[in-house]
Amino acid sequence: MHVLVIGAAGMVGRKLVARLAADGMVAGHGIQRLSLVDVVQPDLPDGFAGEAWAADISAFGAADRMVAGRPDLIFHLAAIVSGEAEADFEKGYRINLDGTRLLFEAIRQQGLHGARYVPRVVFTSSIAVFGAPFPDAIGDEFFTTPLTSYGTQKAIGELLLADYSRRGFMDGIGIRLPTICIRPGLPNKAASGFFSGILREPLAGKEAVLPVPDTVMHWHASPRAAVGFLLHAAALDTKPLGARRNLTMPGLAATVAEQIEALRRVAGDKAVALIRRVPDEGIMRIVEGWPRRFDAKRAEALGFRAEKDFDEIIRVHVEDELMGKVP
């Protein structure tokens, strides 16, 4: 199987590639070739045939090159994150919308020339496609009315994926990711970054800034769960999806206060004392438009799984990033 990962140098992309390399197979098939792309050149795992290169998905000809080798499975993870997409309107639409459309169109054009070509495409969408006012728990029938540019771009991507799949140009599945927590490494420009920061930094003995009240609730899953979602989507029989190709992933609803208490249980009062409260009205305005809790029955019935409590999310971070030890 030939696997293409777009966005392979990002946090989730790197973890997905590492898992693919460790397993040596995906969706029940051995991996014969890996193609990895991002705006910075990703690292191709040792022992795998393929190539890795740097490219802007929205640049002329970039998507055509990505699918020229007719990959059997395409993971489309490339995106400008929420805060950056809100701050830079043109860049958000160029990457998140134009880049996605160019990729889907490049796939369609491949199918118009030579042998039939219908790859499985796994598209990472977001719970930002939903907008307030919300019910207590958002079910599978709730409508998409995004209140941010990022959410709008992802919602349009979902519609494109469904239509290109309906027309038989590809076999697509969109997975709406919860906020991924705890993200390792340096902070990014996502408005949701503080959810990870108030845990990641204290676990490393560093100060963290909390810009919102403790009462803020949000929907979370770990990076390990996100990779699991992607691999499960790659192997899923899409026939039961029908025309509804986009799924809200399972997750965990927790308030900031519940996050902090989980941190206290795992790392003690000393870690919690490193959280500094600095209210930020701009971040709060964005967060107020986000959903808080979901009833992801459809995805759960199809076998998608996430963590059940925040202690488990923190333990995943400690195991995967801190060698199993809390400083």
Query: Domain for residue 315, yes or no?
Result: no
If one counts every other C-beta atom within 10 angstroms of the C-beta of residue 177, the result is 23
Query: Domain for residue 168, yes or no?
Result: yes
Q: How far apart are CA 250 and CA 176, in angstroms?
A: 9
Residue 267 scores a pLDDT above 90: yes
CATH code for position 76 = 3.40.50.720
Query: Domain for residue 261, yes or no?
Result: no
Q: What is the DSSP letter of 294?
A: B
Query: Domain for residue 281, yes or no?
Result: no
- What's the pTM value of the predicted model, to 2 decimals? 0.95
**Could you give the number of structural domains in the chain?**
1
| pLDDT tens string 41-88 | 999 999 999 999 999 999 999 999 999 999 999 999 999 988 899 899
- Catalytic residues, by residue number, are 150
Query: Domain for residue 234, yes or no?
Result: yes
- Buried b or exposed e, range 15-44, using 16+ CB within 10 angstroms: bbbeebeeeeebbeeebeebbbbbeeebeb
**Mean residue pLDDT across the chain:** 95
181 in Cβ contact with 220 (< 8 Å): yes
Looking at residue 327, what is its pLDDT? 73
Task: Give the range of the structural domain holding residue 135, as residue numbers without chain letter.
Answer: 2-178+221-248
Query: Domain for residue 214, yes or no?
Result: no
Please report which confidence band the pLDDT of residue 278 belongs to, taking 50, 70 and 90 as the band edges.
very high
Give the residue-averaged pLDDT of 109-124.
94
